[in-house]
Structure 1
Amino acid sequence: MEYVQERVATLHDFGDARPDAPTERAAVVVPMTEREHASLAAERVLSALERVDPERVVVPLRAEADTAPAVADWLDGFALDVETLWCDGPRLADLLDDHGLTGPRGKGRDVWLGLGVAADSEYVVVHDADATTYTDAHVPRLLFPLDRGFAFSKGYYARVENGRLYGRLFRLFYRPLVRALADAHPGAEVLDYLNAFRYALAGEFAATSDLVRSLRVQRGWGLEVGTLGDAYAEAGVEGTAQVDLGRHEHDHRAVSGPAGLSTMSEQVSAALLRAVEAGGVEPDYDTLPDRYEAAAESLVRAYGTDAAFNGLDYDPADERAQVAEYADAVAPPGEDTRLPAWRKTTLDSGAVREAAAADLEAIR
C-alpha cells in the first residue's frame, strides 16, 4: 500500500473506500455482446449496479437478430432503468448512413452510440461487463472526483491472478512505448500525462457530459488510449484524476491471431501516437521501434524481479517474444477513422434511441 501522487490526481483505496458520489445523476454505459448474455461476470456486474442504483444504465448491444431479443429480455429482468441500445439493426444502420457515419463495426462504435444517448445525464460512467471482481464500489469511486471539480476520471487496478502478472499489452507495449517517447522528448506535457496512468488500457472511466460530447471515439481497440488523448485535450492534467479499483480479473486473449494482443497493439499504437502528435510531439519513427524494444527490455527485467519478489510465475523469454511481436506495430498512425465528437456531428442522439428501439421491437 502506498499514497504516491502521479502527474494526475491519484486516489487510493486505503481499505474498501466507498465515497459518497452523485450516482443518482449518472448514466452507466455497459457495452455488451451476445456472448456475455447471462454469464456469471455480467450477472455480477448488473446485480452490483442494482445496489448502486444509478440514474440509468445504457447497454449498447452487439448481437445478431436471432439472439438480441433474449439478451434484451434478460436485461429487463434487473431492477434497473436499463435502455438496451441494439447496435446492429437496419433502421440504425440507415440512420448512420444518412449522416455519413458508416464504417467498421466494433466495440468503439457501440460505445460511441451509448455515449451519445447517455450524455443526457450530468455524468457518464463506462465499464465492461466481463470483470469477475466487479463490486458496487466501482461506480461511486469513478464518480467521486467529478463532483469535486474534475472532468475526467480513469480507473486503475492490479492485473494479478493465477499466480501470474497479466495486463500484458499495457506492461509490454503501452508503458515502454510511452517511456521511449518521453526519454526522447523530456518535458512534453502530453507524455507526462499519458505516462501518469497506472493502467492506461483500463476500460473503466467516468466523465462529465460536456467532456463525453467532445470524445472522438476510436472504432476498435484503440478506444481506451484515444479517450485519454481527448481527455488530455479537453480536461488537461488539472482536470483529470485516476481512481484505485483494487484487483481486476477478466478474460485473457492470445498474443497472436485476428483478435489477439498483437492485432490490438496496432490499433493501440495508432491511437497513442495520434494523441502524441496532437500534443505537439513529433516522434522519430525511424528509431522509435528500437528505442521501444530497449525500454521494454528494461521493464521485463523489472517485472521479473517484482514477480520473483512476490513468488509469482514469470517467463522472461515469453515476455521478450511478445515485445518483438509488438514492435512491428510501432509506426506512424495512418488514416484517422475516428467517429466525430457528438457536439460536432449532425446526428441526433434521440434519433439513435428511436431507431435502435424500433429495430429491437421489430424482432422481439
Structure 2
Amino acid sequence: MDYKQELITTIHDLGCDLEQLNERLSELSQTQPTAVLVPSLYEELERPALATIRDHLTQCHFINNVFICLYAKTREQFVRAVQFFEPLPQPTLILWENGPRVTEILAVLQERGFDLLKFRGKGRAVWLGIGLASLEAAAIALHDADITTYDRSYPLKLLFPLLEREFGIAFSKAYYARLGNHPRSLHGRVTRLFVTPLITSLMELFGYKDYLRYLNAYRYPLSGEFALTSDLALNTRIPANWGLEVGLLAEVYRNVALKRIAQVDLGCFEHKHQPLSQSPGEGLHKMCRDILQSVLRTLTETEQVVISMDHIRALRVKFRREAQNLTRQYFVDARFNHLHYDRHLEEMTLESFEQVILEAGEDYLKDPAGTQIPDWTRALAVMPDLREKLRDAVISDMADARDPLISYEAV
C-alpha cells in the first residue's frame, strides 16, 4: 500500500468512497460554484474521446458551469460544436477563440498594447478560458479533450480538495499511471524518459534547490489535468508553448505556499498518443525543448542559478546515465506486470531526447526570455470589462449558431 507523502500533499486513492465525495462536493458547490474548462480543437469532436467526456459530464451534478475553448476554422464547425454540447445540463459557454467577435475584442486589446493575437495554441485557449470561467466559479478544473479513460471521478477528485475549506488547498494536480492498450504498455514517454531523469540530473548538477525538489515531488508533472481557485487563475501567467504544464507549475511555485498544493491520484489514465517526430520543431521533440528551457529559466529566476554551456554539456552526460538506469527499472516493472516493453525502442527514444538537451540548451543561452502570456490582472488593468465582453461575445455567437434563419456566410 502506498502512503508516501511528498514535499506537496499527495492524495492517494486508498479505496475512497466516490459517492460520499460526490454528495459532499454537490453540497459545497452550492455556495462555492465550480467550473470545468476544456480547451479543444474542432477535430476532437470527430473523435470518440470528447463524446465520452461530454456524456460523463452530464452526470456531474457538482459542476455548475462548463466552458469549452474551441479552435474552429469555419462558422459551420462552430455551429456543429454548439449542437454537440447541447446535451449538457449545466450552463455551457463555447468560446470560439479564433472567431470574428473574439478576434475583434483581442484586436482592441492589441491596439492598447496588450497583444494576445501573437499567441496561438493551447496556451491562449487556457488563458481565455480561465478568465471567462473566473466570472462564474470559485474553483476551476481543466483537462484536455482527448482523454479516452474519462469518467466523473476525474473532475470530482480534482475539485474536492479546493472546496473542502479545512484542507486549505488552492491548486490540485492529477497524477496517474498512463497505460496504453493494444498491446498493454507503458505510455508517458516524455515524463518517464525525459522529465524524470532531467530533474534528477539537474539536482546532481546544481544541488537540491528548492524548485527542483518541488518539481521532483510531482509524480506526473506533465499531466494536463488540474484545478485551481479563481483567485490563483487570475494571478497566473500562462506559458504559450509546449512547456505549458511545467511552466504552470513554476507559476504555482511562485504564487502559492507548498502547504496549499496537492496532487491527486486518478488511477489508470490514457489519452491520445503523440508521435515522436524526427524534426526538432515538432511532436515530442518540441515538447522536450520547451520543457527544458522552462525549467532552466525558472532555475535562474527563482534560485539565482547561473547556467553556462559547460553545465549543458554536463547535464547531457548525467541525463543519459539516469535515463538508461530508468529503462532497466521500467523493463523489470513492465515484465512483472506482463506489459509489452520494447527496451531497444526506449533506449532509442531517450537517445533522441538526449540530443534535445544540447540543442535546447544552446537556444536557451542565446535567448533565455521565454514566452508567457501576462496574467489576467494585467489584462484587466488594460480593459476592466474584458471578461464581460468575452462573455457577451460567446453568448452572441451561440445565439447565432442556434438560429436557423441566419446565413452564416453573411455574418
Band of TM-score, shorter chain: over 0.9
Relative distance call for 1:202 and 1:17 in structure 2 (3 A) is farther
Determine which structure has more spread, i.e. the larger CA radius of gyration: 2
Q: What is the one-letter code of the residue matched to 1:63?
A: A
The alignment covers a number of residue pairs equal to: 364
* Length-normalised TM-score, structure 1: 0.94
Partner of 2:405: none
Give the AA of the match of 2:245. E
Q: What is the rounded CA distance, in whole Å, between the counterparts of 1:71 and 1:320 in structure 2?
A: 42
1:35-184 alignment, distance < 5 Å: 35-37=43-45, 39-53=47-61, 54-65=63-74, 66-99=76-109, 100-120=115-135, 121-146=137-162, 147=164, 148-162=167-181, 163-184=184-205
Please name the residue that 1:3 is paired with: 3
CA distance in 2, matches of 1:291, 1:175: 12
Distance across 2 between alignment mates of 1:133 and 1:278: 37
RMSD: 2.0
What residue number does 1:278 align with?
301
Q: Which residue of structure 2 lines up, in the alignment, with residue 341 of structure 1?
A: 375
Q: 1:321 aligns with which of 336, 342, 348?
A: 348
Change (3 A) 1:17 1:133: farther
**Structure-2 change in CA distance of 1:137 and 1:90 (3 Å):** same
Which residue of structure 2 aligns with residue 12 of structure 1? 12
SS across alignment from 1:206: strand
How far the C-alpha of 1:285 sits from its partner, in A, is 2.7
- Aligned AA (1:79): P
Q: 2:58–2:87: 8 Å Cα contact kept in structure 1? A: no
Give the aligned partner of residue 34 of structure 1.
42
Aligned residue runs from structure 1 range 144-293, under 5 A: 144-146=160-162, 147=164, 148-162=167-181, 163-256=184-277, 259-282=282-305, 283=307, 284-293=311-320
SS of residue in 2 equivalent to 1:83: strand
Evaluate the alpha carbon distance shift between residue 17 and residue 334 of structure 1 in structure 2; reply closer, same or farther with a 3 A threshold.
Answer: farther
SS of 1:135 mapped into structure 2: coil
Identity of paired residues, percent? 35
What CA distance in whole angstroms lies between the structure 2 residues aligned with 1:28 and 1:169? 26
| TM superposition shift of 1:111 | 1.0
CA contact (8 A) 2:116 2:124 kept: no
Range with bigger deviation, 144-153 or 20-29: 20-29
Supply the distance in 1 between the matched residues of 2:292 and 2:395 (Cα, whole angstroms).
36
- Unaligned runs of 5+ residues in structure 1 are none
CA contact (8 A) 1:185 1:281 kept: no
| Mapped partners of 1:358, 1:278: distance in 2 | 42
Amino acid in structure 2 at the alignment position of 1:263:
K
Greater Cα shift, 73-82 or 95-104: 95-104
1:355 aligns with 2:393: yes
Structure 2, gaps ≥5 residues long: 110-114, 402-407
Task: Pick closer, same or farther for the CA change 1:281–1:327 going to 2, 3 Å.
Answer: farther
- CA offsets per residue over residues 22-41 of structure 1, 9 Å max, x none? 44511110111111215321
Using a 3 Å threshold, how does the CA distance of structure 1 residues 338 and 17 change in structure 2: closer, same or farther?
farther
For residues 234 and 58 of structure 2, the distance between their equivalents in structure 1, rounded to whole angstroms, comes to: 26
Aligned equivalents of 1:286, 1:351: Cα separation in 2: 49
Q: Quick one: which amino acid aligns to residue 85 of structure 2?
A: L
**SS at 1:30 equivalent:** strand
What letter corresponds to residue 318 of structure 2 in structure 1? Answer: R
Q: For structure 1, which segment, 151-160 or 9-18, has the greater mean C-alpha deviation from structure 2 after superposition?
A: 9-18
**CA 1:38/1:78 → structure 2, altered by over 3 Å: closer, same or farther?**
farther
* Letter paired with 1:317: H
Which of 249-258 and 153-162 deviates more? Answer: 249-258
Report the more deviating stretch, 177-186 or 11-20. 11-20
Whether the 8 Å contact between 2:65 and 2:90 is mirrored in structure 1 is yes
Q: State the Cα distance separating 1:286 from its structure 2 match.
A: 3.8
**Contact 1:60–1:110 (8 Å) recurs in 2:** yes
CA distance in 2, matches of 1:82, 1:109: 19
Taking the aligned partners of 1:356 and 1:323, their CA distance within structure 2 comes to 44
Change (3 A) 1:301 1:252: same
**In the alignment, is the contact (CA less than 8 A) between 1:31 and 1:59 conserved in 2?**
yes
Task: Check whether the contact 1:23–1:52 (CA below 8 A) recurs between aligned residues.
Answer: no
